[in-house]
Chains A and B, each alone.
Chain A
Amino acid sequence: MSVIEVRGLRKRYGDVEAVRGIELSVEAGEVFALLGPNGAGKTTVVEILEGYRHRTSGETSVLGRDPAAFDRSTRERIGIVLQSTGVDPFLTVRETVELYAGYYPQPREIDEVIEIVGLVEKRDTRVARLSGGQQRRLDVAVALAGDPELLFLDEPTTGFDPGARRNAWQIVRNLVDLGKTVFLTTHYMDEAQALANRVAVISRGEVVAEGPPSTLAGRHLSETTIRFGLPAGAGSLPESLGVIRERDGFVELIAPDPVRTLHELTGWALARGLALEGLEVARPTLEDVYLELTATEEGEP
């Protein structure tokens, strides 16, 4: 049975429909990423699943329960990292984890939790004296304190520097090793790519693509681009190379059959003694796919 099941989920705030019929399913042990730009409806979806907001219509099930009516025993199996939350600034890291661990029947060892999030050296430091990144790691520690099966992480690394993000990713990977199911929201494509088994891209309240990051929206089927610099006076390329475009002073070929196109191109260049500066063959990155999927965002009324 799925850990999370969402069918036809809709949420309306006044005249605005923030979530417009979403379908999702998350399996046990999976890292699922809900990816989308700011304002796409990610937080609304995750907060409905956490029980903070109530849906306008549709079906939602989390750990077999309706999140609109979570009971205490279901809450004991869920850990939540909200987008912005606080803890008491005057308690130390260890005291904070201890306080929250005490709300759960079978908490994880406090020092172990602190170690998982890498705050061992700060364990006796007051929360007020932690950096922003350290406070975010404490958020994760607090969510882990009760040893939940399911973790919600709402934009866990927003505002992190690159090093801190790598550390946070390692923490999420540690959670997977512990057998947790993780439901993650992010607006960073690389984060979804690095962490998730499955990604749903959400745009204006709708899922526009779903799948493993490697094949998202038919990315594996998409055409390959061959890119290179052409020296001045090289003459025109053979027409058989197909669709040609120019970008940033480089020539780009759209190659449905890259082996043949590349062979023809290099043959043509060698015959003329031309160096194709910066030659590269690239499949579209997840970022390209993502930008294309969410491009409708702008220009809409």
Chain B
Amino acid sequence: MNDLRLTARQVRFTNTAFWRNPASAFFTFVFPLLFLVVFTALLGSGRLEVAPGLFIEQDRYYVAAMGAFGLVSATYTNLAMSVTFSRDAGVLKRIRGTPIPGWVYLTGRVLHAMGIALLLVAITAAFGAAVYGADLPTGLRLGQFFSTVVVGGAAFSALGLATTSLVPNAHAAPAVVNAIVLPLLFLSGIFIPLEASSPHWIVIVGDLFPVKPFAEAVRASFYGPPFAFVWSDLAVVAGWGVAGLLLAVRFFSWEPRR
């Protein structure tokens, strides 16, 4: 069996197992929609000035932001936790003793996470269109949107795999992963919008990490002008992804770290 088919097969089995774990599937799929409903209900449908002279309705802002949040959860958070659990349960060590190349196995896990992320982004977009009247991307914008989701999905997956090497054991996984991802989500305007009046240092710090350029690329490709889609945002995200991949290759552990 060639490695491509072996990868596809790994995706299929990962998917079967994923849907049989209701807690994991529930949190992955329900959180972004839940947050979308709660934030827009709490904050109303006023207008935000995200940059001087650049306005967007609160609810449309959150549709794009929660799409970005969903993708980060489904790839980065999901892989950093589930791969750590597999490592601690000895699944990865067992895989290492079989003929399947390690990269084929991990690519299967990543592709599955990206598939889930794509589905989740689509559901969030459809929900946003149906409930908040967000217009869906078409044509060129759809192409940009899809590129953003693929580049973001791959980059946050690679960063998720790299993060497993920071997690000492499965019990610590939620704490470590949340300690990394939650501050970034806040600094990147995912939960609380960054406006023209936001503190300067938060804007600068947010720009250093991949979540904010990713969220901005999602918003720009989703709504189009006046939001400008800049490929350099995606380049920043991709750069982080490559760094994550290199770190993962160097430090990834197939055995429990005791």
Question: Within 8 Å CB of B99, what residues of A?
Answer: 72-73, 75-76, 103-104, 146
- Is B90 a contact of A86 with CB atoms below 8 Å? yes
> Smallest distance from the beta carbon of A82 to chain B beta carbons, Å?
6
- Is B89 a contact of A103 with CB atoms below 8 Å? no
The contact of A84 among B20, B21, B90, by CB within 8 Å, is B90
Question: Within 8 Å CB of B1, what residues of A?
Answer: 102, 105
Pick the interface stretch among B9-17, B126-134, B177-185, B243-251: B9-17
- Is A87 a contact of B94 with CB atoms below 8 Å? yes
Question: Within 8 Å CB of A234, what residues of B?
Answer: none
- Is B97 a contact of A51 with CB atoms below 8 Å? yes
Q: Is B255 at the interface (CB under 8 A from chain A)?
A: yes
CB contact under 8 A between A80 and B17, given known A102-B9, A103-B100: no
> Smallest distance from the beta carbon of B179 to chain A beta carbons, Å?
26
- Is A80 a contact of B97 with CB atoms below 8 Å? yes
Closest residue of chain B to A104, judged by CB? B99
Question: Within 8 Å CB of A102, what residues of B?
Answer: 1, 6, 9
Q: Is B101 at the interface (CB under 8 A from chain A)?
A: yes
- Is B16 a contact of A95 with CB atoms below 8 Å? yes
A33-B20 Cα distance, complex, nearest whole Å? 40
Q: How many residues of B contact A (CB 8 A)?
A: 22
Q: Is A91 at the interface (CB under 8 A from chain B)?
A: yes
> Smallest distance from the beta carbon of A74 to chain B beta carbons, Å?
9
Question: Within 8 Å CB of B255, what residues of A?
Answer: 52
Q: 1/0 per residue A75-96: CB within 8 Å of B?
A: 1101010101111111100010
> Smallest distance from the beta carbon of B93 to chain A beta carbons, Å?
6
Q: 1/0 per residue B63-106: CB within 8 Å of A?
A: 00000000000000000000000100111011011111100000
Interface residues of B in 209-258 (CB under 8 A from A): 255
A142-B20 Cα distance, complex, nearest whole Å? 21
Q: Is A126 at the interface (CB under 8 A from chain B)?
A: yes
Interface residues of B in 1-30 (CB under 8 A from A): 1, 6, 9, 13, 16-18, 20-21
- Is B20 a contact of A126 with CB atoms below 8 Å? yes
Closest residue of chain B to A72, judged by CB? B99
Question: Within 8 Å CB of B97, what residues of A?
Answer: 50-52, 75, 78, 80, 82
A167-B255 Cα distance, complex, nearest whole Å? 30
7 tightest A-B CB contacts, nearest first: A86-B89, A85-B90, A90-B20, A75-B99, A80-B97, A90-B17, A85-B94
By a beta-carbon cutoff of 8 Å, the part of chain B in contact with chain A is 1, 6, 9, 13, 16-18, 20-21, 86, 89-91, 93-94, 96-101, 255
14 residue pairs of the A-B complex, CB under 8 angstroms, read A50-B97, A51-B97, A52-B97, A75-B97, A75-B98, A78-B97, A82-B97, A85-B91, A86-B89, A87-B94, A90-B21, A95-B16, A103-B6, A142-B94
- Known interface pairs A75-B99, A85-B91; 16 further A-B residue pairs with C-beta atoms within 8 A, sorted by A's residue number: A50-B97, A52-B93, A52-B97, A80-B94, A85-B89, A85-B90, A86-B86, A86-B91, A88-B86, A90-B20, A91-B20, A99-B13, A103-B98, A103-B100, A104-B99, A126-B20
